[in-house]
Chain A
Amino acid sequence: MIRLILMRIGLGLLTLFVVSAVIFLLTQILPGDVASSVLGQNATPENLAAFRHELGLDQPALSRYLTWLWGVLHGDFGVALTNKRDIIQELAPRFRNTLFLAGYAALLALPISVGFGILAAVREGRLTDRVANILALICISMPEFFVGYLLILNFSVNHEYFPSLATVSSDTPFGERVWAVTLPAITMTLLVTAHMLRMTRNSVLAIMSTPYVEMAFLKGLTRGRVVTRHALPNAASPIISVIALNLAYLVVGVVVVENVFTYPGVGQYMIDAVTKRDVPVIEACGIVFASVFITLNTLADVLAIVLNPRLRHPR
């Protein structure tokens, strides 16, 4: 078990290295650089050259990458090329915001999707099952900005329950923060629920057609008891991996929602960096996002093993 976790961590670090190299390569392929993006229409050959020299962009790409990598190995992510601000210090509060929103949305989405997923499986083919499925499908079929605007229209324009601006900062008190982030959290909940709900339902139903479940029914158990006590534990591992994927999506896939609600998360920071070709910032955001994916996937695998006796004691 420990060996497996250590191996996953090692592989994760290797993945991060590859990710950083790929991101760097991709930023090199993108047309333009930070100097031409910042100066934009105001660029002249002279001020471009002065800007590039100041930032060390006249060095070869490989040596810039190695310098950056050396810094990162020493825990130094450097400063943004555009405004010379410390990347960790800029990123940390935004990452906390992103996690806060993702956590809030997960708290809403997990019970709803797993709960209704199980309920739908128990009542397969009946009204609850149909309604849960149809509602979830409608939510996932609408683009997230549309869902966001609908919520704003109903809950902050027509009825002023929640603010449409979710701009929070480090000094925002917790209660106010929860209040401000409610609409974006609901938007994201609606986005991820369908996937998890249907996966829960289908995994449970797949197990339901196995002989040992039939045996349980023959023993005279109720459908609800068969589902929760016998089917669900064995259906857990695909559900957990879908949940992990969706949790990761809650962290990395929220750019549009951030934009609609003007929420200061990592997504907008990364978009701004890409627009300005600010390579160290893009790298830092990329590594944060990749780490979230790797961590959640590792966690999902470990949990699947812990929950399943057959995987726990391999023969």
Chain B
Amino acid sequence: MAGAAALGLAFGSLGGSAKAAETPKKGGTLRLGMEGGSASDSLDPRTYADSIPISYGYQIFNGLVELDADGNAKGELLESWETKPGATEWIFNVRKGITFHSGKTLDADDIIYSLNLHRGETKSAAKDLLSAISDIKKLSANQIQITLSSGNADLPYNLTDYHMLVVPNGFTDFSKPDGTGAYALESFEPGVRVLTKNTGHYWKPNSAWFDSIELKYIPDTSSRTQALISGQIDAANRLDPKTVSFVQKSPKVSVLQTKGTGNRFAFVALCDTDPFKSNDLRMALKYGIDRQKIVDTVYKGYASIGNDTTIGPANKYYAPNNPPHTYDPDKAASLWKKAGSPAIELQVSEGAFSGATDAGILYQEAMKKAGINLNVKRVSGDGYWDNVWLKAPFCAVYWGGRPTVDLQLSQTFISTANWNDTHWREPAFDKIITAARVELDEAKRKQMYAEAQNMIADTGGMVCFAVGDYLDGYSKKVQGTAPHPRYDMCDQKVAEKAWFS
């Protein structure tokens, strides 16, 4: 496992949560109130796309590999692994003595079946993560071999994806899910609530303290916050930065802030479309935005300044630009004139991310000071990803965190990437990423990723101005919660990790 990317993180905690000193105890029903789901949610892991399905997915099922509190890959149902130099051949050991809710014992066939749900002809969003796999072979009842078409030292990190949950071999009826998770499904009313009950025999030691979990869909932020303060729920996700100071005043509630791992908020320009073919113009866009003002105004300080790539400042491979792209109206003006003073239109929508419109308007104001007229056009959030993103020459986008730098960069910036939303194609960059993927020397790897990030920041089409914080709210009686390098709500595993005092 040498060379695996560990994410170095800086955490901040508000209101004195994350107390781990108390001894955990069993019992109680944890009532979660969450945003990030709808009446069309399904139990089939291939369709998961938002926080609520990820949360109930992790209650009922287990993943293959998980991320620990430091962001390192840690065995889950795949207990351990080894690879040869070149990182194309991998041996994974399947954890022994695990049973599904149905009573079946976990073996290699279940793992292979569950992986294959995301390979070949599939609707799964995780397909790209596994596309390098050329073959999966069963070596014994508790061992599998995975062969890659090109080396990847980070394969275990790809397997931490939340879509890759383990079901028994041949399982098809997802309305009656059968997993190895701590809780078994009691009732599923998508859009309303999901009830699960502790099976009483979970394999992970020191976890799953609650008797049952009641997950309520509360899409309205004010209602969710209100329900938390009045004690109708024990935990809420995605608190609003604008009102979080009121929440902190409540004596019954604590706020948990995870810094620098939330969504990356950006405006993206298509590098192969006029007028954005000119790198001078692209640099003008980067110098003409007042990042600090957006962070302070739109996110009330609950965000970090972005660095025009999707790598967050908390990442240990993060390489800031030298000099940094700080707001400089004069420089933006001269670059814009050099590019021929073209007209620019930015398309924004709250459907891209919450705050996109406000950020767009602040951007327009900042550009005005440089004498540049940025036309900000508000478009419908309905169908945004289908109609605007990847199509409009300059528009708003957010990117979620990925477990490794490789995944983070290659999903968005490699020439052949499906989601290359800047149409930035740089063969030298592709070469660095491919080489870094199999580079096991940590110092060299760091150097390579720094070079890759600087290339994007200096020539790419992304204006990534902020990286958001996650803000969770918990009742004071909920113990054992802590920030996690990946997702909010304890990596969406609060049901497994927390307990009532």
Residues of A participating in the B interface, judged by any CB pair closer than 8 Å: 30-32, 35-47, 50-51, 54, 80, 82-85, 90, 149, 152, 156-157, 160, 163-165, 167, 169, 259-262, 264, 268-269, 272-273, 275-276, 278, 281
21 contacts between A and B (CB under 8 A): A31-B383, A36-B385, A37-B386, A44-B418, A46-B127, A47-B127, A51-B123, A83-B40, A90-B39, A152-B223, A163-B232, A164-B223, A164-B232, A165-B227, A167-B192, A167-B218, A260-B220, A261-B223, A262-B219, A262-B220, A278-B40
Alpha-carbon separation in the docked complex, A51 to B217 (Å): 26
The answer to whether B127 touches A80 (Cβ under 8 A) is no
Given contact pairs A262-B216, A272-B38, A276-B40, A42 touches B123 in the complex (Cβ within 8 A): no
Main SS of the interface on chain A? helix
- Complex Cα–Cα for A84 and B173 (A): 11
Partner of A84, one of B42, B128, B189, B217: B42
* Complex interface bits, B297-328 against A, C-beta within 8 A gives 1, otherwise 0: 00000000000000000000000000000000
Q: Is B79 an interface residue (CB 8 A)?
A: no
- What is the chain B residue whose CB lies nearest that of A261? B223
**Chain B residues positioned under 8 Å from A30 (CB to CB):** 382-383
> Is the pair A47, B124 in contact by a Cβ cutoff of 8 Å?
yes
> How far is B124's CA from A137's CA once the two chains are assembled, in angstroms?
53
Is B354 an interface position by the 8 A CB rule? no
**CB pair B216 A54 closer than 8 Å:** no
Q: Is the CB of B189 within 8 A of A40?
A: no
Residue of chain B at shortest CB distance from A45: B418
User: Do most interface residues of chain B lie in helix, strand or loop, or is the interface mixed?
Assistant: loop
12 extra interface residue pairs, beta carbon distance < 8 Å, beyond A31-B382, A264-B189: A31-B386, A38-B49, A47-B127, A51-B123, A83-B190, A163-B232, A164-B232, A165-B227, A259-B220, A262-B218, A272-B38, A281-B40
Note all chain A residues with C-beta closer than 8 A to B47.
Answer: 38, 82-83
Determine how close the nearest CB of chain B comes to the CB of A292; give it in whole angstroms: 19
Give the residue of B42, B125, B127, B216 whose beta carbon is less than 8 angstroms from that of A165: B216
Q: How far is A80 from B42 in the complex, measured between Cα atoms in Å?
A: 10
Interface bits B211-251 vs A (CB < 8 Å: 1, else 0): 00000111110110011011011000000000000000000
Q: In the complex, are the beta carbons of A260 and B38 less than 8 A apart?
A: no
B362-414 interface with A by 8 A CB criterion: 382-383, 385-387, 389, 397
Contacts of B20-69 to chain A: CB distance below 8 A: 33, 38-44, 47, 49
A31, A41, A156, A269: the one within 8 Å of B389 (CB): A41
Sort A-B residue pairs by CB-CB distance and give the 7 closest, nearest first: A83-B42, A82-B40, A42-B125, A32-B386, A272-B39, A51-B123, A272-B38
Bound CA span A50–B232, Å: 42
CB-CB under 8 A for A40 and B49, given A47-B123, A80-B40, A273-B39: yes
Q: Are B189 and A54 in contact (CB under 8 A)?
A: no
Q: For A38, A80, A163, A167, which residue has the most chain B Cβ atoms within 10 angstroms?
A: A167
Q: What residues of chain B lie closer than 8 Å to A167, measured between beta carbons?
A: 192-193, 216, 218
Contact B387 A269 (CB under 8 A): no
Q: Which residues of B contact A47 (CB under 8 A)?
A: 122-125, 127
B452 CB → nearest A CB, Å: 22
CB of A43 to closest CB in B, whole Å? 7
Cβ-defined contact, B38 with A276, below 8 A: yes
Q: Which residues of B contact A80 (CB under 8 A)?
A: 40
Chain B residues with CB under 8 A of A268? 39, 191
Min CB distance A146 to B, Å, is 11
Q: B135 in the interface, Cβ–Cβ < 8 Å?
A: no
B206 sits at the interface (CB 8 A) = no
Docked pose: A82 CA to B385 CA in angstroms: 17
Contacts of B386 in A (CB 8 A): 31-32, 36-37, 43
- CB neighbours of B387 from chain A (8 A): 31-32
Q: B400 to nearest A CB, angstroms?
A: 9
Give me the interface of B with A, judged by CB distance under 8 Å.
33, 38-44, 47, 49, 121-125, 127-128, 175, 187, 189-193, 216-220, 222-223, 226-227, 229-230, 232-233, 382-383, 385-387, 389, 397, 418-419
Beta-carbon nearest neighbor of A153 in chain B: B226
Report Cα–Cα, A44/B126, bound state, in Å: 11
Distance A30 CA – B380 CA, assembled complex (angstroms): 12
Query: Are B123's CB and A35's CB within 8 A?
Result: yes
Closest chain-A Cβ to B29's Cβ sits at a distance in Å of 14
In the assembled complex, the Cα of A45 lies from the Cα of B229 at a distance in Å of 44
Q: How far is A71 from B113 in the complex, measured between Cα atoms in Å?
A: 35
The residues of A that contact B217 with a CB separation of less than 8 Å are 262
Task: List B contacts of A46 (CB < 8 A).
Answer: 121, 127
What residue in chain B is nearest A90 (Cβ atoms)?
A: B39
Bound: A131/B201 CA distance, A = 65
Chain A residues in 8 Å Cβ range of B121: 46, 50
A31 vs B386: C-alpha distance when bound (angstroms): 8
- Decide: A44 and B127 in contact? CB cutoff 8 A: yes
Asked if B418 contacts A260 (CB within 8 A), the reply is: no
Residues of the B chain whose Cβ atoms lie less than 8 Å from the Cβ of A272: 38-40, 191
User: B222 touches which one: A149, A156, A160 (CB < 8 A)?
Assistant: A149
**What distance in Å separates the Cβ of A184 from its nearest Cβ neighbour in chain B?**
11
Contacts A82-B42, A165-B218 given; indicate if A37 touches B191 (C-beta within 8 A): no
Instruction: Please measure, in the bound complex, the distance between the C-alpha atom of A272 and the C-alpha atom of B379, giving whole angstroms.
Output: 20
Considering residues A82, A160, A261, which has the most beta carbons from chain B within 10 angstroms of its beta carbon?
A: A82
The answer for the CA separation of A2 and B171 in the assembled complex, in Å, is 56
Which B residues are CB-close (under 8 A) to A37? Answer: 383, 386
Closest A residue to B386 using CB positions: A32
Cβ–Cβ < 8 Å partners of B383 in chain A: 30-32, 36-37
Distance (whole angstroms) from the CB of A157 to the closest CB of chain B: 7
* Contact call B385/A164, Cβ cutoff below 8 A: no
Query: B residues within 8 A CB of A169?
Result: 187, 189, 192-193
Residues of A close to B233: CB separation below 8 A: 165
* Minimal beta-carbon separation of A282 from chain B (angstroms): 11
State A278–B216 Cα separation when bound (angstroms).
22
How close is B248's CB to chain A, nearest CB, in angstroms? 16
> Using Cβ atoms and an 8 Å threshold, which residues of chain B touch A149?
222
Cα distance A85–B40 when bound, in Å?
9
Q: Out of A40, A90, A261, A262, which one reaches B385, CB within 8 Å?
A: A40
B191 cross-chain contacts in A, Cβ below 8 A: 264, 268-269, 272
Residue of A42, A160, A278 with most chain B CB atoms under a 10 A cut-off: A42
Checking A83, A261, A281 against B41 with a beta-carbon cut-off of 8 angstroms, the contacting residue is A83
A1 to chain B minimum Cβ distance, whole angstroms, is 42
Q: Which residue of A lies closest to B37 (CB)?
A: A272
Closest residue of chain B to A39, judged by CB? Answer: B125
Nearest opposing residue in chain B for A278, CB measure: B40
> With A and B bound together, what is the CA distance between A269 and B190 in angstroms?
9
* Neighbouring A residues of B419 by C-beta, 8 Å: 41, 44
| Min CB gap B480→A, angstroms | 25
Distance from B379 Cβ to chain A, minimum over Cβ atoms (Å)? 11
Give chain A residues whose Cβ lies under 8 Å from the Cβ of B125: 39, 42-43, 47
Q: How far is the CA of A187 from the CA of B128 in the complex (A)?
A: 48
